[in-house]
Structure 1
Amino acid sequence: MESCISICLLSIFLFCRIVPFTHSFNSSFLPRCHDYERSALLQFKESFILEDTTLDGCYPRVESWKLVKGERGDCCSWEGVECDEETNHVIGLDLTDSCLYGSISPNSTLFHLVHLHSLNLAYNNFNLSQIPSQVGLLSRLTHLNLSFSFLSGQIPHEIFNMSRLISLDLSRSAPGLKLHKPSFKDLVQHLTNLKVLHLSSMIISSKVPELLANFSSLESLRLNDCGLQGEFPVGIFQLQNLKILDLSDNPGLKGYLPPFQLKSALKSLILPRTNFVGELPFSIGSLAYLEELHISECNFTGQIPYSFSNLSNLVYLDLSNNHFSFHSPIISSFSWVGNLTKITTLGLAGLNMKGEIPSWLMNLTQLSTVYLEFNQFTGPIPSTLAKLSRLKYLYLSNNLLSGPIPFQIYNMHELILSSNELQGSIPSNVSQLKNLEVLVLHSNNLVGSVELSTFLQLKKLRTLILSFNRLTLITKTSTNASIPKFEVLGLAFCNLTEFPRFLHSQDQLIFLDLSSNNIQEKIPSWMCSISTNSLDYLNLSHNHLTGFEKDPAILQWAKIRILDLRSNRLHGSFPLPPPSTSSYLISHNKLVGVVSALLCNLSALETLDLSFNNLSGRLPHCLGNFSDSLSSLDLRRNNFNGNIPSTWRIGCKVRMISIGYNQLQGEVPRSLANCSSLELIDFGNNHIIDSFPSWFGNLENLRILILRSNGFHGVIDKPQTKGFSNLRIIDLSHNSFTGKLPSLYFEIWDAMKVTNASHMTYMGDSMKPEQYHRFTYYGQYDYSMIMSNKGLELEYRKIPDILTAIDFSYNKFEGEIPDIIGHLQRLYLLNLSNNLLNGHMPSSLANLKELECLDLSRNMLSGKLPPELSKLTFLSSFNVSYNQLEGPIPRGKQFDTFESNQYEGNRGLCGVPVEKECENFEASPQERSNVVEDDDTGSVFKFKWMIVLIGYGTGFIFGVVVGHKITKKKHDWFVKTFGRKQQHRSQRVKRRRSRS
């Protein structure tokens, strides 16, 4: 019996020892994965090219997918592959950032892996291929991630077969990945188990479905940059499991923040650049888990709740660029921030904060990034910032800070101090900032000489902008050490006299500004060879450059978009920019010859400025073919001849076309009617022969129309539509128009009727180019024009939006001046001189309260000067000479400043300043009320005249517009001369009053 028991125990023992050995033996030689899945994975691998890992920093996981000769291979052991422990089916595939390049084919063996639960192909390059409909075969998927993978096209309907999905991430796959048909609403209706939904940068362009507010399991929702519209469902904010909500960069998305629940799990609330409005709820302070609150560039109003001080877990807080109000001093309104000691990133930019930089910042010892730009901070930059040992990114640009740059700031990676009033020199110990990557100091009052070698010692420095100070940059350096590879260099107005030699070695530049220096040489050949594969912006304007050392057939910067060579002395033929160019500015030079037809290869051209040169020949007809991209065309002051190009297509995007002062002929091309975005048309001073193009009235955005000095003729027809409603400036002078003044047009020029001069803006401000690179200061291309004003031909290099003008002088208009012209109450300049007008001057002219210049000279006007004209307190130029007017000249205010020659040729006029006294005319009550009785008449009038001269208030034509034409010497002469003449006039008034 015992022997039997022993044998049994031995058998059990041996079985227990042998079985594990057998299993181990089998697992070593018998692969776990199924043959068809192994084959599918290998074929999927072979359908792609592996990108260069040294360029992209990716890791090629699929390189481990290999078969050893004579063995079947265990695919479950391959990198990125997960198998089920029981069935050995492939259930997970993670190939994140695995260097894959190629298209996902509809026949891809990937779709044979029907047991997959998780598929992650993020951060690969699928070459803009579409997501095949066969993806619906993977119906067991719970996690799908195709983010950052360069996919495109419409999301297939078959994705709705994946009803088990709890996580879907299609973020930033490509600029063209769409969710239209099926729609966002369709997706939400089918995939009801989602906990994670990330669709960032997809083209959705619809409302957010209300149904999402019922997704009680939803934890993370990222819908940033999707073109979302309409009202955001407020119930989504109240989902108790929601931790992450990102709606940023959806300017068409409206909404407000409701009261929050006490048990909310919200950790990240990200809303910048949306149209969220209203006040922040007090209950926001109950979000105990909140770590990130980013609501910059919205439209929030009201006070910031003090309950913010309860958000003790905040790590990221950005309230920048909203419309908050403050009852207490602004700085103290934010004192609660000093209690949030975990904050690493703080954004309070653009909140109109005043006073010195607050001391409570020093409590935030974890700070690494501070955004305080676009406020009104004054005083010095506190040296105590050096105590914030973790501070690496400091943004203080666009304030009113003064004093020196503190030399105690050591640990910076990015230091942005531009557009302030900082003084003194650049600290010599800047060379000790070994981690410095970005230094931006432009537009301050920094002075002194600075050695370029100081910055070349900073090996990590990529951005250096010193422009627009009073610095002298010494660029000669004997160092043989390696020079940093710059991406952004701003050295404008740095007293450079030659191209810095260190640029020889720069091959990664994106932005280079050497403008407004004293460089007096030809552009060397080596300069045309730097950064040929990276340079995006090059500005060499306002120097003394004479040409190219070796004339290039086409400039070689392959990716350049903005090329600015304005205001130099470039001579010779027209240099062609690269095909990538979107803005080519080469005005105010000495170029000659014809414009090559190769210009037509610039398919991305948006702004072309060739004005103020000596170019000649016919304009390339392809200019009209640029209408899909071209926005601004300025060809003024050249010698172009022939007809205006007539190939402007439907959908034309041109907003400004200025071709004045050439020798162009023919008629105005009717195809310009296709350019519905046109705001400025200047065809002045050419040889165009045509009737008035009343069809321009269909251009709803047209604000400026200049047809001066051509061969336009005939009667101005009735307007075809109620167009021209936005017209602000019209110049038809020096033509051969006949008939009566077009009173029907005066009725529809609505933009000349309403005065809105609350702040000065300029035409073209809305054309600012996008910020191609951080920290740069790309300016916009300003609208400009040439117009006659007060007898002078003036160049307006910027056109104020409030400027309105009508110039119909030197034509053959006849009949009376219509009363309705008095409805144009916003009008600043009215010139109807040198016509055949007759009848009385309408008293309605006195309604033109903003009028500064009125010229009705050399007509056949009769009757009295309306005494109501003395109400025009901004009138600085008035001329009615050579008419048939009679009676007393209005007295008082501006009328006591005008010279006698402005009335000559009217024998019937009497009173000051002409020599004829008014014996038979009794002064009207209006005139009597304008006579000043006190002894300070001269000083009052002098002050009024000074206001007009210096452009004080809304009188701006001398001071603002022609300031660049009138030197200080001339300005002082104006003030001195007219001031003295005013005193003489005042004394003359007193003498005549005493005689009478």
Structure 2
Amino acid sequence: MASWQKGTDCCSWEGVTCHMSKDYMIGLDLSCSWLQGALHSNSTLFSFRNFQRLNLAMGNLTSLEYLDLFETEFTGSIPPTLGNLDRLFALYLGGINLNGTVDFDMFARLKNLESFYLWWNLNVMLPNNGNCSFPRLKGLSLLGVNLTKFPYFLRSSPELEVLVLSGNKISGPIPEWVGRVLSSTLTCLLLSSNNFTGEIPSSMCQLSSLRDLYLLDDRLNGTIPRCLGNLSNLSANCTSLEALHISDNGIHDTFPHWLLNATPALESLDLRSNMFHGVINEITLPPQLESLYLSNNQFSGQLPIVFFRNSNIELVDLANNNFDGPLPIPPPNVWFYSVANNKFSGDIPHQLCNATLLEVVNLSNNSLTGSIPHCFIKLSASVLVFRANKLVGKIPEIFLSGNNLRTIRLSQNRLEGTLSRSLANCKNLEVLDLSENELEGSFPYWLDTLSNLQVLDLRSNKLHGLINSSKKNNHLFPKLNIFDLFDNNVHGHLPVKYIANFIAMKDESRSNLQYIG
């Protein structure tokens, strides 16, 4: 380091590499420098935002205890000498641009490891023998590293608390020993987006400390183990379970009523995209449940009137099932409510207006009748989708100045009368689809003041007369991508003023598949 003189350009120092066109360091080569001692996490070495390469080869850093390179800009491959740092208790290599294949055997000497996080851009090969063990390991995350088998060396890690193996290619059944070996310590188990098959092992019921269980987007089948709820017969229990996510599998079961009573801490239940079926009998959701995902299953029948009573649920997704009967009324603090593609019937209940925090309301493709309640004027929603029902009457004057609406889709109903002029107050509106109704009157030229509107679909109505434009506005529909008046009774000339201002339709920078989001 004789060339490292204070007051001189650091880019001229030996071992320092700077960016070609800018004066900042991107690489540091200290190989053969015989460095020794500890490398602490608060070292200024890790404050270089544009760092790409670091070479400490042949240095004596055996006393290093903590190495955190999380989301830095290092590139290249993991040096094999990293496996010699046998005092290391925490190693974080997530979110960096490393590449190549990593043989897990290189870490076999790191018996003091408590936290090990290795994410993305790598292919990790697990050991075939039992020589690799980490007796002190508390947290292991191997996220998206192309694993093809389960890390069986964890049988010798009885203190493990967090295990993240999501986003890999692990096949076969979930090992039964996971529930036994880690019964008293494991709090978080994330196995999503793999190729696991078979049933959820009943040994999961022994994970007494488990708070989060994510099994979504796998190939699991069968039923949910009833022992998760049959707690009186277990030496351990799942009373602390906060989240159960098992969407995108092939589970063929009825609604797990027993689970709601057995898990008083449950906050999120995600059963989406499985083969759950049958009627949901008289139950009351636990008050602490915040999100319920039941969409894309085969549930049927009428939901209990008391389904949401005394609940504090904030997100309800019942879409794409065979539910029928009247709409279930959500609690006042719900913000997302989707019951699309079911067989619900009857009027839209006025009690829905009590949920003043609603942001997304999707009632599409049901058999709802009656008119749109005027009390919707109280909502602060950004998305209203009521398409493909049997709604009648006029569109009420419910759109106050300063509203947050971005999408209104009321198509395929029996709405009539002239358009509500209060729609001009929807300054953030991007999509207005009122097609396939019985709306009358002249073309609503006053909508051309909506500067964010991308879709205006008024096809298949009873609009008539000339297409006039605003007299005082010279910036008409600047973002409009779709303008549909097909199958109406309008006549006369198309206003040149409109066509000349359809600026967004002339944007050739987007491909056909990216025309509109």
- 8 Å Cα contact 1:562/1:584 also seen in 2: yes
Q: 2:434 aligns with which of 675, 683, 695?
A: 683
- 8 Å Cα contact 2:39/2:66 also seen in 1: no
Q: What is the aligned-residue RMSD (CA, Å)?
A: 3.7
Listed one character per residue, the Cα deviations across residues 556-588 of structure 1 (whole Å, up to 9, x for unaligned) are: 253211111111111111110111211111111
1:498 maps to 2:249: no
Q: What is aligned with 1:971?
A: none
- 8 Å Cα contact 1:295/1:318 also seen in 2: no
Measure, in 1, the Cα distance between the counterparts of 2:23 and 2:458. 48
Measure, in 2, the Cα distance between the counterparts of 1:626 and 1:352. 46
Structure with the higher helix share, 1 or 2 = 1
Aligned-residue offset at 1:708? 1.5
1:731 maps to 2:488: no
Q: Amino acid of the residue matched to residue 318 of structure 2?
A: L
Measure, in 2, the Cα distance between the counterparts of 1:443 and 1:295. 36
1:424 maps to 2:424: no
Q: 2:216 aligns with which of 448, 451, 467?
A: 467
What is the TM-score with the length of structure 1 in the denominator?
0.43
Listed one character per residue, the Cα deviations across residues 693-727 of structure 1 (whole Å, up to 9, x for unaligned) are: 34434333322222211123333334624243322
Q: What does residue range 7-18 of structure 1 map to in structure 2 within 5 Å?
A: none
1:706 maps to 2:472: no
Aligned residue for 1:745, secondary structure, equals helix
Q: What is aligned with 1:439?
A: 189
1:408/1:727 Cα in 2 relative to 1: closer, same or farther (>3 Å)?
Answer: same
1:715/1:419 Cα in 2 relative to 1: closer, same or farther (>3 Å)?
Answer: farther
Q: What is aligned with 1:546?
A: 300
Q: What is aligned with 1:388?
A: 134
- 8 Å Cα contact 2:303/2:325 also seen in 1: no
Aligned-residue offset at 1:393? 1.8
1:595/1:278 Cα in 2 relative to 1: closer, same or farther (>3 Å)?
Answer: farther
Q: What does residue range 263-278 of structure 1 map to in structure 2 within 5 Å?
A: none
Aligned-residue offset at 1:314? 7.1
1:605/1:803 Cα in 2 relative to 1: closer, same or farther (>3 Å)?
Answer: closer
1:546/1:302 Cα in 2 relative to 1: closer, same or farther (>3 Å)?
Answer: same
1:587 maps to 2:340: yes
Measure, in 2, the Cα distance between the counterparts of 1:625 and 1:648. 9
Q: What is aligned with 1:534?
A: 288
Q: Amino acid of the residue matched to residue 603 of structure 1?
A: T
Q: What is aligned with 1:513?
A: 270
Q: Amino acid of the residue matched to residue 508 of structure 1?
A: A
Q: What is aligned with 2:41?
A: 291
Aligned residue for 1:673, secondary structure, equals helix
1:284/1:565 Cα in 2 relative to 1: closer, same or farther (>3 Å)?
Answer: farther
- 8 Å Cα contact 2:70/2:95 also seen in 1: no
Listed one character per residue, the Cα deviations across residues 403-437 of structure 1 (whole Å, up to 9, x for unaligned) are: 22122213321112223222111112112222211
Aligned residue for 1:421, secondary structure, equals coil
- 8 Å Cα contact 2:192/2:217 also seen in 1: yes
Measure, in 2, the Cα distance between the counterparts of 1:585 and 1:603. 16
1:753/1:342 Cα in 2 relative to 1: closer, same or farther (>3 Å)?
Answer: farther
Q: Amino acid of the residue matched to residue 244 of structure 2?
A: L
Measure, in 1, the Cα distance between the counterparts of 2:56 and 2:447. 58
1:625/1:381 Cα in 2 relative to 1: closer, same or farther (>3 Å)?
Answer: farther
Listed one character per residue, the Cα deviations across residues 833-883 of structure 1 (whole Å, up to 9, x for unaligned) are: xxxxxxxxxxxxxxxxxxxxxxxxxxxxxxxxxxxxxxxxxxxxxxxxxxx
1:707/1:279 Cα in 2 relative to 1: closer, same or farther (>3 Å)?
Answer: farther
Q: 2:395 aligns with which of 639, 644, 654?
A: 644
Q: Amino acid of the residue matched to residue 275 of structure 2?
A: N
Deviates more, 1:566-575 or 1:361-370: 361-370
Aligned residue for 2:424, secondary structure, equals helix
Q: Amino acid of the residue matched to residue 487 of structure 1?
A: E
Aligned residue for 2:154, secondary structure, equals coil
1:283/1:380 Cα in 2 relative to 1: closer, same or farther (>3 Å)?
Answer: closer
Q: What is aligned with 2:360?
A: 607
1:292/1:730 Cα in 2 relative to 1: closer, same or farther (>3 Å)?
Answer: farther
Q: 2:444 aligns with which of 677, 693, 708?
A: 693
1:471/1:280 Cα in 2 relative to 1: closer, same or farther (>3 Å)?
Answer: farther
Measure, in 2, the Cα distance between the counterparts of 1:750 and 1:340. 62
Listed one character per residue, the Cα deviations across residues 266-311 of structure 1 (whole Å, up to 9, x for unaligned) are: xxxxxxxxxxx99666699999985247999x99556244479999
1:364/1:377 Cα in 2 relative to 1: closer, same or farther (>3 Å)?
Answer: same
Aligned-residue offset at 1:596? 1.3
Aligned-residue offset at 1:667? 2.8
Q: What is aligned with 1:632?
A: 383
Q: What is aligned with 1:747?
A: 500
Q: 1:401 aligns with which of 124, 130, 146?
A: 146
1:377 maps to 2:122: yes
Aligned-residue offset at 1:626? 1.1
What is the TM-score with the length of structure 2 in the denominator?
0.80
1:689/1:414 Cα in 2 relative to 1: closer, same or farther (>3 Å)?
Answer: same
Aligned residue for 1:547, secondary structure, equals strand
Give ranges in structure 1 of 5+ residues lacking alignment: 1-258, 260-276, 761-799, 805-996
Aligned-residue offset at 1:395? 2.3
Q: How many residues align?
A: 473
1:371/1:501 Cα in 2 relative to 1: closer, same or farther (>3 Å)?
Answer: same
Q: Amino acid of the residue matched to residue 406 of structure 1?
A: P
1:361/1:728 Cα in 2 relative to 1: closer, same or farther (>3 Å)?
Answer: farther
Aligned-residue offset at 1:666? 2.5
Measure, in 2, the Cα distance between the counterparts of 1:755 and 1:314. 55
Measure, in 1, the Cα distance between the counterparts of 2:137 and 2:25. 29
Listed one character per residue, the Cα deviations across residues 942-982 of structure 1 (whole Å, up to 9, x for unaligned) are: xxxxxxxxxxxxxxxxxxxxxxxxxxxxxxxxxxxxxxxxx
Give ranges in structure 2 of 5+ residues lacking alignment: 1-9, 11-21
Listed one character per residue, the Cα deviations across residues 229-249 of structure 1 (whole Å, up to 9, x for unaligned) are: xxxxxxxxxxxxxxxxxxxxx
1:325/1:725 Cα in 2 relative to 1: closer, same or farther (>3 Å)?
Answer: farther
Measure, in 2, the Cα distance between the counterparts of 1:633 and 1:519. 28
Aligned residue for 2:278, secondary structure, equals coil
Q: 2:244 aligns with which of 479, 489, 503?
A: 489
- 8 Å Cα contact 1:293/1:317 also seen in 2: no
Listed one character per residue, the Cα deviations across residues 98-132 of structure 1 (whole Å, up to 9, x for unaligned) are: xxxxxxxxxxxxxxxxxxxxxxxxxxxxxxxxxxx
1:570/1:577 Cα in 2 relative to 1: closer, same or farther (>3 Å)?
Answer: same
Aligned-residue offset at 1:612? 0.4
Aligned-residue offset at 1:455? 0.2
Aligned residue for 1:592, secondary structure, equals strand
Aligned residue for 1:389, secondary structure, equals coil
Aligned-residue offset at 1:512? 0.6
